[in-house]
Structure 1
């Protein structure tokens, strides 16, 4: 069964559906670095299917360039990734490109979620939020449904989608999708219930063409038994600003890493890169880590010693510094991690830094051989915006089961 991934980001959702046996026809994404990441991953999947993974591993190790890697995959694999913003002007061209790839085939499934900042808690503080163009991107999504009439679709977004404009926005969205010919269902899922070591709540909307309605998929939750410390255990210790672009693991893989295949076949890890910090921030981090590890208490900005404070505002964003819970699951990883790491402090006081690119990727359940193209900030942004592949796999496996019954 095939699918189109809209607003694909770095293809975390797509990764889950590919792992469940679906085949991508096209990914559409406006961010250049994210598109580069999708192409690199698409080449990986092609090489894996053809027993040529060594070329991909050579790329990860820096032995060959990205251009040389791409030479080992057919052009149509690379051309399936469309670096285009989906809007009124571009949509006709996008349809033409997809039609050329499709030929006489039909689309089984459409997945994806429009940028969600407009519905997020932070987004609601913006002025004139009702006129934010991102609020209407579901209409573009619906145009793909109207054009290709897939048997089903999966639409992902933040919980704030339900309360935007006092619930009217979500009501309009459901009405619109029903007009496109779909029965629409939704539920709030927490990625921590599906093997992801992160409490990430998302609204999942599932639509079925009215001739094969299956309701919302009954996705079985996984009992939690692992922690963030299990997720980070085998990664080499880092100092602030240290960058291990390619490095051996420091320990053998544990039960969590093996069960969920985060260490998937290679004996090295990439992009274990930490951002640098100034002395003041490091002192704040030490204070925050001690307070969290000893008392399970989050440090608030007003609690900081006066010499560590940089401004007088002690009423807004007072929880700016947050330690990742090593003995539990992480709080939600968001794209703001690209700007600073204060909200994602490593729980190990001996390392005293914010989490690395690879650690953030693991919290999102990306396998270690998933490579994020672009500079460090671009990698962090892609990771923060992504759908965790493990949660996507749980959804995809159930969708495949239902679709096979049609």
Structure 2
């Protein structure tokens, strides 16, 4: 069977790539081969190279022990860089290109793609995937820059043009472009960014054009609404309410050969409980950067817990019933029997005030059946901000407990800065989520290792596309490409 080339733009730590790379045909052969991954972040590139080394070892049936020894911290990088591992790494390293995509670097990027794809007449069918950086489109990013006169000129608004440049020059049969839901409401001046991108896709400089399809609504392109391009990850077996705009583009000269296909919904959600309950319990340590401890925090916690447990609740939401098949598929996707213990599962240190607050909020969440706002806490645990308690208090949900029997809220890159939005649902653990727990909510396999410091690891996890969702998209794309080969 044909192995289809893939080029990955703005690759991050490789969420889209992981999903596509895992797709197999009915004989068990891999459907895709990644020829190039472009990413500017140093640590994300290190993660991409390491993961590509693992895939190369799997495909070549090489010795995987050095890989697992390295990610479990049993051996150093230099000590594993021999034999099968070194050969796989050299192959993997050749396709990961660290570069900031932009007009200045177009000649080098174009040259590399031409080298990887080979002569145009011999290329056959292939796919372009990726998601231009989303900070300029996200609701949070826009709110932080309200009143910023330079916002409209931010080059990040227009990085999608690098994606379109490669479409125009190299003309893949199919492309997948991912971005935040805020793209639909983002404007530069009076222009809708979403409509601008769609218009640009219809008039690429080379003359090639693409039909833009939805992966969740089976309708002709002219009948689609902007909201029809939103994929809600929790509907497809990912334990997270991550809503993203994903465009499926089909080159106009092959559209007639490719009937529309949409993703199949899961039989129910995968919950936080299904994702992280089996992880070993941990206790967070107190931060070394403590303010002067002038309160009896054990007494404050005890008094607050009594108040929380006495609280009356008129109605408590019904817990979500998890999908049986979805949970089975998710667990099979994550599981790695060769690991002796979960990797990258160390808790952050927290200030004692936050440890107490997390404990009480998790208890209150169990009581209410939903995450409380910090204004629901006893006043003894309110943050010491001057505007707390006022009608105009902003961000009353700045502390958020993840609920056991529901998909998690969206894991975003801000998790790298603090864990307030990602409080563990178990009151006894009284901490924020670890890198591995966040990775599980993003559906990264347990043997997926993120390079860099813990902050950099969190940043990569928060910026990724859920690989389990990507695999489902990859299956659709592979079927479409196979039909073109028949």
**Structure 1: where are the runs of 5+ without partners?**
243-253
Corresponding position of 2:171: 149
1:25 to 35, 56, 62: 35
What is the aligned residue count?
395
- Contact 1:5 1:111 survives alignment (8 Å): yes
Corresponding position of 2:196: 172
- Contact 1:178 1:184 survives alignment (8 Å): no
Secondary structure of 2:247 counterpart: strand
Instruction: Return closer, same or farther for 1:287/1:257 CA change in 2, 3 Å cut-off.
Output: farther
**RMSD over equivalenced CA pairs, Å:** 2.0
How far off is 1:279 after superposition? 0.7
Worse overlay, 228-237 or 151-160: 228-237
Aligned ranges 1:200-215 → 2 under 5 Å = 200-213=242-255, 214=258
Instruction: Return closer, same or farther for 1:367/1:97 CA change in 2, 3 Å cut-off.
Output: same
How far off is 1:255 after superposition? 6.0
Corresponding position of 1:251: none
Between the aligned partners of 1:147 and 1:13, the Cα distance in structure 2 is: 22
2:71 is the alignment partner of 1:43: no
Corresponding position of 1:286: 359
2:76 is the alignment partner of 1:82: no
Between the aligned partners of 1:224 and 1:47, the Cα distance in structure 2 is: 35
**Structure 2: where are the runs of 5+ without partners?**
24-30, 215-228, 287-325
Between the aligned partners of 1:332 and 1:307, the Cα distance in structure 2 is: 26
Between the aligned partners of 1:226 and 1:169, the Cα distance in structure 2 is: 33
Between the aligned partners of 1:176 and 1:342, the Cα distance in structure 2 is: 40
Between the aligned partners of 2:269 and 2:11, the Cα distance in structure 1 is: 31
Question: CA offsets per residue over residues 94-134 of structure 1, 9 Å max, x none?
Answer: 11122223323526110000111111111121124322211
Worse overlay, 60-69 or 201-210: 60-69
How far off is 1:274 after superposition? 1.1
> TM-score scaled by structure 1?
0.92
Between the aligned partners of 2:139 and 2:459, the Cα distance in structure 1 is: 18
Question: CA offsets per residue over residues 315-341 of structure 1, 9 Å max, x none?
Answer: 211110001111111011000000000
Instruction: Return closer, same or farther for 1:64/1:316 CA change in 2, 3 Å cut-off.
Output: same
2:75 is the alignment partner of 1:64: yes
2:134 is the alignment partner of 1:116: yes
Aligned ranges 1:308-323 → 2 under 5 Å = 308-314=382-388, 315-323=393-401
> TM-score scaled by structure 2?
0.78
2:277 is the alignment partner of 1:230: no
Corresponding position of 1:184: 212
- Contact 2:450 2:460 survives alignment (8 Å): yes
Aligned ranges 1:5-404 → 2 under 5 Å = 5-20=8-23, 21-51=31-61, 52-67=63-78, 68-69=80-81, 71-73=86-88, 75-104=90-119, 105-106=122-123, 108-125=126-143, 126=145, 127-128=148-149, 129-165=151-187, 168-180=192-204, 181-186=209-214, 187-213=229-255, 214=258, 217-224=261-268, 226-241=270-285, 256=328, 259-268=331-340, 269-304=342-377, 305-306=379-380, 308-314=382-388, 315-404=393-482
Between the aligned partners of 1:322 and 1:257, the Cα distance in structure 2 is: 28
Worse overlay, 296-305 or 171-180: 296-305
- Contact 2:357 2:381 survives alignment (8 Å): no
Secondary structure of 1:224 counterpart: coil
